[in-house]
Amino acid sequence: MTVTTPAGFRAAGIPAGLKSTGAKDLALVVNDGPAFDSASVFTANRCKANPILWSQEVVKDGVVRAVVLNSGGANCYTGPDGFQTTHAVAEKVGSVLGVAPGDVVVCSTGLIGLANDRDHLLAGVDTAYAALSGDGGADAATAIMTTDSVSKQVVVEGAGWSIGGMAKGAGMLAPQLATMLVILTTDAVVPAADLDQALRAATRVSFDRLDSDGCMSTNDTVTVMASGASGITPTLPDFTDALTQACTDLAMQLLRDAEGADHEIAITVLNAASEDDAVEAGRSVARSNLFKAAVFGNDPNWGRVLASIGTTQAAFDPADLDVAMNGVWVCRSSTPDADPALVDLKPREVSVTIDLKSGDARATVWTNDLTHAYVHENSAYSS
Amino acid sequence: MTVTTPAGFRAAGIPAGLKSTGAKDLALVVNDGPAFDSASVFTANRCKANPILWSQEVVKDGVVRAVVLNSGGANCYTGPDGFQTTHAVAEKVGSVLGVAPGDVVVCSTGLIGLANDRDHLLAGVDTAYAALSGDGGADAATAIMTTDSVSKQVVVEGAGWSIGGMAKGAGMLAPQLATMLVILTTDAVVPAADLDQALRAATRVSFDRLDSDGCMSTNDTVTVMASGASGITPTLPDFTDALTQACTDLAMQLLRDAEGADHEIAITVLNAASEDDAVEAGRSVARSNLFKAAVFGNDPNWGRVLASIGTTQAAFDPADLDVAMNGVWVCRSSTPDADPALVDLKPREVSVTIDLKSGDARATVWTNDLTHAYVHENSAYSS
């Protein structure tokens, strides 16, 4: 069920003292080989945290031996000293594992502007190293949680190989990666260039289509490591399909655990002139606070859907739009159609379907409703 | 204090039966001349309401004799029958006033997708016509309210001439005009072309910089009418200054009455490479739900400011940004500086200052915090 399911990986999750609660806050995931191929994607935010600045360099040669992750502090905008903390942690992991520090990805999550206690981190690496095991994946998944209410893990089985994954993220979920850390492992034999191609294809239709609250994080990282321990080389399409399945599963787990949300909303745009148009239209609806508050109130307010689409550059005729909510076509040709009272928004899962009648492309963007609990969680606690 | 303060204007606001509460819901503002110059700006939303489709044509020749406005229904996405309602109302106003229907601007506000009762509207025009008076401005300002808690009016005095104005708007406040209707009057002599230039200059730095909740309306209209009744022709810069002052005053009234808001937030971006950069950076912060929820919680979370700026294309060095909240520089050179505990966010008015250190342009964008009351108001009631 986790990153240690594929052969060739060990992991640990331990309390290093960064969280005042004493909860687990440091995770280590190690690839024992024989191969060390990897690929990564990072946040598109131009304001990047120190671990991103470090890890972007680490992954360039396609070799990653280990990932060390901490919750309890994002190490973002903590200055040169913060970068030195990231560097020191990578050096420490390299030292205990006997690998080059330049092959160690570092991830951090928590409050921006908060320096992480370097001594706690370095001592924590020793503790995590001692705890490494072939069934340590669940502990690692727990150690990276911040406001997450549950840990997120996935396994997808191939023919003699598998993919494992873990993720964290509950707020700042937005396109081009959410506030999330995702580590994927596989024992398939997949060269780094193929891993990169597969990972970009998988994230494009999963994490990149998740727009819970429109806020883009400074720390997002998705790293996949391939140990080759199964000795099996899947075809690239087969591997890409499995990786997409794993990423989509984790994305839906993030969506379901989004801060304060009462509804998961799938916005599907049909018959767009291009996939980009479909994504742009879907994302505009996902970012409408008025629409999201209406869903929270179980109000099938399709006017707010049209008002959102009208702000985009997508190709469509404003006088010929159809909108369905939970399968009820409440608007056809931009006029009222079925009675909105037929739409039952009480179940958590809500579908919005928009027909742009301008082509044959389509896309789905996922978001959450805007709730009292979202406001509470993000006003009462720093993150 | 209102649209009837300048000489040459009469107005009325009466209950026409559109609102189930029996409150005033129809307003009429008439220019008695001798001049009938006008200028207007409309929502940039591509999904436009029927009154917008009508009024865009009306204003093209620079002549407007009257504006008729209703609350209780936006007449947006109500189909061809809805457009005929708008047309019938303009015909009716033209008939009672003895002017061309093509010189009558129509504005509607309320729920999208809701047809307005045409008979109520037409009978209401008769009632409003009978009630027209030189001190009817306050009634007119009341009749256009929807979720507004107070009516919004303004007067700016020139040398022997004046500008009067009224506005409505409390939600869907976003750039390129908010969910708002604004009618401005003046007894100065100002040809239509100059009015247009002055209005575009005034809205660019007032209504267009208001981004309360990121949602752009389908019905926004700002119309200015010049009666020339004072016989005085101000210089264009003088008139533009006065009009900008009137628009800014009304914009601040809209901001202070935004649905559910606890704070008015002025985001000022300094030393940007261009004014566009300054506006883009400011607007990104104004659209961050996480930042807005933090202000509601009196949490000076400058990390969320930087995370927002990082999503823009503005010119800046991510490692050299300064951020102040209420005058306290909590972040300098992208590292923590003054203790955030020094920032007192209890007062309603909050200032955020961002120094991009990339040029000498600046701009201020205004927004509100994200509160429980915003969620409540927009989930419990359709609008």
Interface of A with B in 272-291 (CB under 8 A): 287-290
- What confidence score (pLDDT) does residue B382 get? 58
pLDDT band at B314 (very low <50, low <70, confident <90, very high): very high
In chain B, residues with a C-beta closer than 8 Å to the C-beta of A108 are: none
Q: Rank A299-308, B67-76, B93-102, B144-153 by mean pLDDT and report only the highest.
A: B93-102
pLDDT at A221: 85
| Confidence check: pLDDT of B8 > 60 | yes
| The predicted structure's pLDDT at residue A344 | 94
Tens of pLDDT, residue by residue over A274-302, are: 999 999 999 999 988 889 888 998 999 99
pLDDT score recorded for residue B289: 85
| Percentage of the residues of chain B whose pLDDT score is greater than 70 | 96
Does the CB of B303 have a partner CB in chain A at under 8 Å? yes
Mean pLDDT value of segment B298-312: 89
The token pair that represents A227 in the structure block: 């140990």
**Helical packing angle, A302-309 and A289-296, nearest 10°:** 160
Residue B339 with chain A: CB contacts under 8 Å: none
Alpha-carbon span A71 to A377, nearest angstrom:
18
What are the structural domains of chain B?
9-256 (3.60.70.12), 264-380 (3.10.20.340)
What phi, psi does A349 have (nearest 5°)? -90, 120
Nearest to B297 among A111, A112, A380 (CB): A380
Does A335 contact B79 at a Cβ distance shorter than 8 Å?
A: yes
Omega cis (within 30) before B237: no
CB atoms within 10 A of CB B46: 18
B147 contact A CB<8A: no
Secondary structure class of A375 (helix, strand, coil):
helix
Distance from CA of B190 to the nearest CA of A (A): 33
Q: Which residue of A has its CA nearest to B46?
A: A310
Asked if pLDDT for residue B116 goes beyond 50, the answer is: yes
Are A370 and B111 an interchain contact pair (Cβ–Cβ within 8 Å)?
no
Q: Which residue has the tokens 């047809």?
A: B115
pLDDT at B321: 94
Contact assessment for residue B211 and residue B255, using Cβ atoms and an 8 Å cutoff: no
For B52-62, the pLDDT digits (tens) are: 999 999 999 99
Distance from CA of A116 to the nearest CA of B (A): 13
DSSP secondary structure letters along B106-156: EEEBS-TT----HHHHHHHHHHHHHH-BTT-HHHHHHHT-SS-SS-EEEEE
Instruction: Judge whether A339 is closer than 8 Å to chain B, CB to CB.
Output: no
Question: What are the phi and psi torsion angles at A54 (to 5°)?
Answer: -70, -55
Whether B314 and chain A come into contact, CB under 8 Å, resolves to no
Residue B170 has pLDDT above 70, yes or no: no
- The pLDDT of residue A290 is 84
Cα–Cα distance for residue pair B317/B358, rounded to 1 Å: 8
**pLDDT tier for residue B381 given thresholds of 50, 70 and 90:** low
Partner-chain residue, chosen from B294, B334, B383, that has the shortest CB–CB distance to A379: B294
Q: Which of B216, B375, B376, B383 to mutate to test the interface with A (most CBs of A within 10 A)?
A: B375
The answer to whether the Cβ–Cβ distance between A331 and B301 falls below 8 Å is: no
Residue B101 · residue A295 · CB < 8 Å: no
Cβ burial, residue B127 (10 Å; 0-12/13-18/19+): middle
Considering CB atoms only, which of A111, A301, A370 is closest to B303? A111
| Chain A CA closest to residue B80 | A335
- Per-residue confidence (pLDDT) for residue A173, from 0 to 100: 47
From chain A residues 148-187, the ones with a CB under 8 A of any chain B CB are 171-172
Shortest distance, CA A65 to any CA of chain B (angstroms): 29
Largest CA distance in chain B: 67
Query: In the structure, how many helices (H) and strands (E) does chain B have?
Result: 10, 15
Q: Which residues of A are the active-site residues?
A: 179
State which amino acid sits at residue A14: I
What pLDDT digit, counting tens, does each position of B216-237 carry? Answer: 777 888 899 999 999 999 999 9
Q: Would the CB atoms of A331 and B77 count as touching at under 8 Å? A: yes
pLDDT by residue (tens digit) across B20-35?
A: 899 999 999 999 999 9
B216: nearest CB among A47, A307, A379 = A307
Q: Would you call B232 an interface residue with chain A, using a CB distance cutoff of 8 Å?
A: no
User: Of B356, B378, B361, which is closest to residue B312 (Cα–Cα)?
Assistant: B356
Q: In this predicted model, what pLDDT tens digit does every residue of B39-48 receive, in sequence order?
A: 998 887 888 8
Please count the residue pairs, one from chain A and one from chain B, whose beta carbons lie less than 8 angstroms apart: 192
Among B109, B79, B73, smallest CA distance to A335 is for B79
Give B184 to chain A, closest Cα distance, Å: 26
* Peptide bond preceding A34 in cis form (omega within 30 of 0): yes
The beta-carbon neighbor of A47 closest among B47, B172, B307 is B307
Q: Is 60 exceeded by the pLDDT of residue B51?
A: yes
Annotated catalytic sites of B, by residue? Answer: 179
- Quick one: pLDDT at residue B175? 39
DSSP state of B60: G
Task: For A158-228, list the strands marked E by DSSP.
Answer: 162-168, 181-186, 221-226
pLDDT band for B208, please (50, 70, 90 cuts). Answer: confident
Q: Dihedral sign, CA of A272, A274, A280, A282?
A: positive
State the Cα torsion B85-B89-B95-B99 to the nearest 10°: -120
The whole-number average pLDDT for the span B143-170 is 89
CA-closest candidate to residue B316, choices B342, B277, B284, B282: B277
Q: Taking the CA atoms of A78, A83, A84 and A90 in sequence, report the sign of the dihedral they define.
A: positive
- Using the Cβ of B335 and the Cβ atoms of chain A, whether some distance falls under 8 Å is answered with yes
pLDDT for res A208: 83
Place of tokens 């359709």: B382
d(CA B382, CA B172): 12
CA distance B286 to chain A (A): 11
The SS3 of residue B44 is coil
Specify the pLDDT at position B173. 47
With a cut of 70, which residues of chain A have pLDDT below it? 170-179, 212-215, 381-383
Q: Which residues of B touch A216 (CB under 8 A)?
A: 307, 310-311
More confident residue, B287 or B314: B314
CA angle at B350 for the pair B347 and B355, rounded to the nearest 5° = 150
Mean pLDDT of B10-26: 95
Report d(CA B363, CA B267) in Å as an integer: 8
Average pLDDT, chain B: 90
B120 inside 8 A of chain A by CB: no
pLDDT at residue A381, as a whole number: 60
Chain A contact for B56, CB < 8 A? no
Average pLDDT over residues B292-311: 89
Beta carbons of A218 and B310 less than 8 Å apart:
yes
Whole-angstrom Cα distance, residue A164 to residue A166?
7
Whether A336 sits inside 8 A of B113 (CB atoms) is yes
∠ Cα B276 B278 B281 (to 5°): 105
What pLDDT score does A176 carry?
41
Give A87→chain B minimum CA distance, Å: 18
Query: Has A383 been labeled as part of a binding site?
Result: yes
Query: How big is chain A, counted in residues?
Result: 383
Dist. CA B89–CA B83, nearest whole Å: 10
